[in-house]
Amino acid sequence: MLQLDGVSKNFGGLPALQSVTFGVPKGRLTALIGPNGAGKSTLINCVTGLLPPTSGSVHFESVDISGLPAHRIAHLGITRTFQNLRLFPRLSVLDNVLTGLTCEGGTSMCMAMLRLPVLRHRERQLRLRALEAMDRFGLSDKAGWPAAVLAYGDKKRVELARATVGNPRLLLLDEPVAGLNAEETASVGEQLRTLRRAGQTILLIEHDMDLVMNIADHVVVLDSGQCIATGTPDEVRRNPLVLEAYLGRMEATA
Amino acid sequence: MTGKQHILYFLSLHRTGLSVTVLALALILFPFLDSNPYTLGLTNLIAINAIVVLGLNLFIGYAGQISLGHAAFFGLGAYGSAIATVTFGLPPWPAMFLVAGLVALVALAVGIPVLRLSGHYLAMATLGLNYVVHTVLLQWDEVTGGPSGFAGIPSLNLGTFAFDTPLRLHYLLWTFAMLCLLLSLNLVRSGVGRGLAALAGDETAAASLGVDTRTAKVKIFILSAVLAALAGSLFAHCFCYVSPDTFGIFTSTDMVIMVVIGGMGSIWGSLFGAAFLTLLPEWMDWFETYKDFVHGGVLVLVLMFLPQGLITGIVDAIRIKLALRRREHAPA
Amino acid sequence: MLSIRNLTAHYGAAQALFGIDMEVRAGETVALVGANGAGKSTLLKCLMGLVKPSGGEILLDGTAVTGAPPARMVQSGLALSPEGREVFGTLSVLDNLRLGAIPLKLPSAEEARRVEEVFGRFPKLRDRRQQTAGTLSGGEQQMLAMGRALMAHPRLLLLDEPSLGLAPLITDEIFSIIHQLGRAGATILIVEQNAARALSASDTAYLLAGGRIVEHGKSRDLLIDPTLRAAFLGAASHDNPASSRLGAAGLTNIRLEKPAMHNKNFLPTFKTAEDLRAHQIQGLQWTVRHAYEGSSAYRAKLDAAGIRPDSIHTLEDLQRLPFTTTEDLRDGYPFPLRSVPFEQLVRVHASSGTTGKRKVLCYTQKDLDDWTDMFARCYQMAGVTVLDRVQVAVGYGVWTAGMGFQLGCEKIGALSVPVGPGNIDMQIQFLLDFQSTVFCSTASMALLMAEEIHKRGVADKIAVRKIIYGSERSSRSMRRKISELFGGAELFDITGLTELYGPGAGIECPDHDCIHYWGDYYLLEILDPDTLQPLPDGEWGEMVVTSLCKEGSPLIRYRTRDITRIIPGPCTCGSLMPKHSRIRGRSDDTIKFRGVNIYPSSVDTILSSVPGMGSEYQIHLTRDSSGREHMRLVVERAQGVQASRTPELIHEAGHQIKRQLLVTADIEIVDYGSLPRSERKSQRVFDSRIQDEIV
């Protein structure tokens, strides 16, 4: 579904990504792993339009999206979560999740100001959908709270709800379990598994190897801006390049 | 569903319209309480300021930008209406809308380059715009009348009914103000409004969610400019005289102070802010002398202690306290 | 390079190889796969000259080498790494290697060079050059055996079961070395039980069973062939090749000797629409004649309509034929529409009688066989294979469902678990114990099961991948719920009515966008229920069916009162069988409310589209004292949705119903699970208005 070809990104002469090429198959969960500083977040930013790649191309369902601005990419059905959480702290939880439906909320200021019946009905439908998404992530009782007061785990869930409420074609998750305890991690893992079963295409950036090995269908390994391996979790786990780069000189555990 | 639930739902569904209706009723009845022309004159000024502040609040509070030059659009609206009706002899109503349209185009032309900037640079650019407009108003004698101002602006009228007394103007101006209030409230409660709030909250995240940040900023800039121009036209037809000093940089900062005091992002707060700052000189006689000190001081205090502005700051603090208390009592 | 033609081998009187044909080209890696006792080792031994073949010939580069002694074979360029390694345990690694080249009588410099080469390929052996071979680990011994074979610089390397007894990680290593050798240009013949491994490592493969080659072709193709995968690879997959062991997977020689069983096809083989039509015309002519001659009821009808059997020439003549309705079935009770003498009847089935007097249909043996074939087709289209376990949770006895599902299942070769209806505890128990992969029931029963599975939290422990349900309409949200709670199963709607054999007359397409019906067994017309005129393709109307080969009780233009529409055009799944939409409801299901015709299925669809709304609902129709009609919808909230959302749900549902059905309904929302569930068909419409319709 998503195909990266030779994507490179330089920050003023410093290569952050070097000719990265891999594909994300439809309906599968692909994990992007690599040591800190390998360029994973830069890669996601290039895919979602926050950073233009220096060279190479990104194709989404055969359409070239390299260099498109972030909002156009969102309208194509690609959503993401952020490693360091980018919620809107002053907005309520419900409003935060509703922002996930921006693409369907209309852009006409006149229509909005006049609040025509069409708009009212649409608002109501969006509200119900947002509430349903919040149900899925266990946030319904916190609907009216300002997002700033939530616990860290709940905030992560709000980001997830916001990213999934619009039924995106491709979901990009940037370290969704960073900073969560074991129980919360397991719960997020279960959510991801449910999404995966429903046929959602997911690209997951993670450090937590247990999570990755358990739920990923396909793994891509990045090191120092280069793609050093791709394959199934088992294949990658035994790949000596990966072991050396990511796990150090360790025996491969069976 | 029980009758009570029915009523509650109806109320919550139509809360905007209902609250505006209540306020409108109160304003309709107000002159019966106090028909002093001086008081009405003040409230008329509040109405005009409120219209500007509503627009500016959408720009500053909702979209998270800054403009220190909105008096420029206010002035363009006022002088535009004046020149159109007096010099060109156009009837006032069409002139008002024509001027609003022209100001929209100016805002578009200015907005596209200027809104690429942010923070201090944007503030400087808008300040610069205000300075330019002010200078033009001051220097272009033949058209604008120069430092002595422009007099003889006709009042607005409906047929033979002229809006030339404070009482009549009260109804006219507050009708406009209520309309703008309603439209702003609707905007804020819609998907577009949420997009703007997202824009103010975190521009990157908003873009990732599908908000076309550049277009949204320009659109809301134009909207706030049009509202300011509308208020300017009303101002011109209300006082029948305009002079350049009214549209200088200090007026712009006043407008920003009104936004900040009322609460950035709070629509109802805009009304409060407009009222507060308009009435402040009445309550403090010595105010006139130290006007600028007081204005500046208030602005600094508010920004230091309650960055979201007065109303919003208090409301937010209460909400957060309540929510935190609920969170402690709620099951894990 | 190597050619084997019609090779046979005997061990005394017992024949081990029955005419083997094989080709190994230079530079190729060929795999020979088969279970124990299939004859693989025998074949290798024949090649190496260790066993003398009893017939046929072996050609190496065109030269016949059949029956040559082993030493000659080594000199000709063959080398064997035997099954079980067979290293010389008391000798050192180095000595073992040297022995590999003995027949070639090499000068010592050359020998030393070759030893170095082998060490280069197997660095582990270098470290252990002086070690006694018997003390090496399994993997190292395998490497030694291969190294020994390589010493002879063979033109053809024979590897007999290289993965035998080795741990998966070591097997990986060995096979990667085999890969390397292959890439370096060596010609390799691998004999393996581990089919997936061998197929992954080779270019061409031969599958051996019972001394015969049963399949051969490109390894890549064989690896992905689904029937072969099912038979030979068991639980193995690309990611987990190690789990295929032909003995261990429980696949016995019986399967290997009857590979043709996997290729049984029940789907019709018409190549074009014209072929189908020709078949249909013949069937129509046969049916009319058969009914005319065999049933007095039909003869009376046809005579009354002025039709004679020989006046049927085209499919358009269908429209001249008279209709058959439930009245005819009731009038002819207990053997309505019988068109054969009693001695040919072997069974009767009856309907459940939910819409009036039971309809009884009689069947000849051919009817039963046809029906079983149709049902097997349905299973085949749903992707059910011989390895599936089908749990049948529908009513047996005089109802068609039970026998239909079970016999169809056995026909396709899957395992049937005939539990019957109800008894949720036992159903769940069997799902867990037998790990049933297919579940057959009504939609309501499936929902009951789904909720029970969820309640007990056993979704991870059951293996249901497909659910085939029928005899009841189901909404999208109900299907979603069932699929979700079963752990992500695929749902297939199966159609059919008691009058038309039973369920199995058609099944949902694997692409889930239409229902394919078996146009070679019956004709389907879509007619306007009031005017009885044919409707254009794509419009909703009443299904009228005409059987094409039904003997016991043939159907001529039988009005089913079910509403659906034809979906024209080719199907993405490739089937040529015609398509119709999922059944929208019965024409007598339609609710007439304030002058508007409403199908309950429309209500289903609308409620499914409101987020937060459950899938269970009831429609209550009442009339008040002033004669005005009222419709009240009682709908459940979805699971986990709080009561505070009720007003919004009511608002949205009311709005959608107003917009799409043009009626205003009172909507009441109740808690999840408070409406009754049933194992059979759920009654959803409660009409308490005075029925004053004529007709």
* Mean local confidence (pLDDT), C557-574: 85
The answer to whether C652 contacts A129, with C-beta atoms less than 8 Å apart, is no
Q: Which residues sit opposite A31 in a β-bridge?
A: A204, A219
pLDDT of residue A245: 66
Tokens 């199963």 -> residue: C489
The answer to whether B1 contacts C669, with C-beta atoms less than 8 Å apart, is yes
Compute the distance between CA of residue C403 and CA of residue C397 in angstroms, rounded to an integer: 8
- pLDDT of residue C109 exceeding 60: yes
The answer to whether B186 contacts A107, with C-beta atoms less than 8 Å apart, is no
Specify the CATH number for the domain of residue B229: 1.10.3470
pTM over cut 0.80:
no
Compute the distance between CA of residue C519 and CA of residue C537 in angstroms, rounded to an integer: 15
The answer to whether B207 contacts A50, with C-beta atoms less than 8 Å apart, is yes
C669 touches chain B (CB under 8 A): yes
Of B113-127, C329-343, C417-431, C483-497, least confident by mean pLDDT is B113-127
C13 vs C327, residue with greater confidence: C327
Confidence band of C227 (pLDDT split at 50, 70, 90): low
* d(CA B325, nearest CA chain C) in Å: 21
Query: Among candidates B73, B57, B79, which has minimal Cα distance to B129?
Result: B73
Contact B121, B66 (CB under 8 A): no
b/e per residue, A113-150, with b = 16+ CB within 10 A? Answer: bebeeebbebbbbbbbbbbbbbbbbebbebbebbbbbb
What separation in angstroms does the CA of C293 have from each of B276, C229, C300, C319? Answer: 101, 51, 11, 20
pLDDT of residue B331: 52
The secondary structure of residue A141, as a DSSP letter, is G
Tell me the DSSP string of C316-368: GGGGGSPPB-HHHHHHTTTSTT--S-GGGEEEEEE---TTSSPPEEEEEHHHH
Q: Does residue B142 belong to any structural domain of this protein?
A: yes
Helix, strand, or coil here: A45? helix
Domains (range + CATH), chain C = 2-23+41-263 (3.40.50.300), 361-518+558-583 (3.40.50.12780), 591-687 (3.30.300.30)
pLDDT of residue A164: 92
Q: Does residue B253 belong to any structural domain of this protein?
A: yes
Q: What is the pLDDT of residues C443-482, one digit of tens each?
A: 888 988 998 898 888 888 888 989 999 867 777 778 888 8
Q: Which domain holds residue B76?
A: 37-284
Residues of B in contact with A71 (CB under 8 A): 207-213
Compute the distance between CA of residue C112 and CA of residue C91 in angstroms, rounded to an integer: 17
Of A26-35, C229-238, C421-430, C566-575, highest mean pLDDT: C421-430
Contact C180, C148 (CB under 8 A): no
pLDDT of residue B16: 83
Helix, strand, or coil here: C538? coil
* Helix or strand run (H / E) with residue C169: helix C168-183
In this structure, chain C runs to a length of: 695
Q: Does residue B295 belong to any structural domain of this protein?
A: no
Compute the distance between CA of residue C389 and CA of residue C405 in angstroms, rounded to an integer: 12
Compute the distance between CA of residue C536 and CA of residue A250 in angstroms, rounded to an integer: 70
C678 vs C130, residue with greater confidence: C130
Instruction: Name residues of chain B where pLDDT drops below 70.
Output: 1-2, 119, 285-288, 295, 298-299, 301-315, 327-332
The answer to whether A234 contacts C239, with C-beta atoms less than 8 Å apart, is yes
Q: What is the pLDDT of residues C390-447, one digit of tens each?
A: 999 988 888 888 999 999 999 988 899 999 888 889 999 999 999 999 999 988 889 8
Q: Does residue B83 belong to any structural domain of this protein?
A: yes
- pLDDT of residue C246 exceeding 80: no
Considering its fold, how many domains does chain B have in total? 1
Confidence band of C249 (pLDDT split at 50, 70, 90): very low
Q: Does residue B136 belong to any structural domain of this protein?
A: yes
Confidence band of C232 (pLDDT split at 50, 70, 90): low
**Domain(s) of CATH 3.40.50.300: residues in chain A:** 1-77+168-254
pLDDT of residue B102: 93
- pLDDT of residue C283 exceeding 60: yes
- pLDDT of residue A21 exceeding 70: yes
Q: Does residue B318 belong to any structural domain of this protein?
A: no
Compute the distance between CA of residue B63 and CA of residue C381 in angstroms, rounded to an integer: 56
The answer to whether B9 contacts C647, with C-beta atoms less than 8 Å apart, is yes
What separation in angstroms does the CA of B288 have from each of B46, B204, B297? Answer: 18, 44, 14
Residues of B in contact with A103 (CB under 8 A): 209-210
| Whole-number percent of chain C with pLDDT over 70 | 91
Q: What is the pLDDT of residues C36-47, one digit of tens each?
A: 666 788 888 888
Task: Check whether the bond before C334 is cis (ω within 30° of 0).
Answer: yes
> For domain A1-77+168-254, which architecture applies?
3-Layer(aba) Sandwich (3.40)
Q: Does residue B118 belong to any structural domain of this protein?
A: yes
What separation in angstroms does the CA of C453 have from each of B108, C572, C671? Answer: 61, 34, 20
Of A232-241, C121-130, C237-246, C515-524, highest mean pLDDT: C515-524
Q: Does residue B45 belong to any structural domain of this protein?
A: yes
The secondary structure of residue C259, as a DSSP letter, is G
Confidence band of C253 (pLDDT split at 50, 70, 90): very low
Q: What is the pLDDT of residues C312-326, one digit of tens each?
A: 888 888 888 899 988
What separation in angstroms does the CA of C396 have from each of B81, C197, C378, C405, C472? Answer: 88, 45, 19, 10, 17
Task: Select from A103, A113, A151 the Cβ nearest to the Cβ of B187.
Answer: A113
Task: Select from A70, A88, A113 the Cβ nearest to the Cβ of B208.
Answer: A70
Query: Among candidates C500, C498, C555, which has minimal Cα distance to C356?
Result: C498
- Relative orientation angle of helices C108-121 and C93-100, to the nearest 10 degrees: 120
* d(CA A72, nearest CA chain B) in Å: 7
Q: What is the pLDDT of residues B82-95, one digit of tens each?
A: 888 888 888 888 88
Q: Which value does ipTM take for this structure?
A: 0.85
- A:C CB pairs within 8 Å: 47
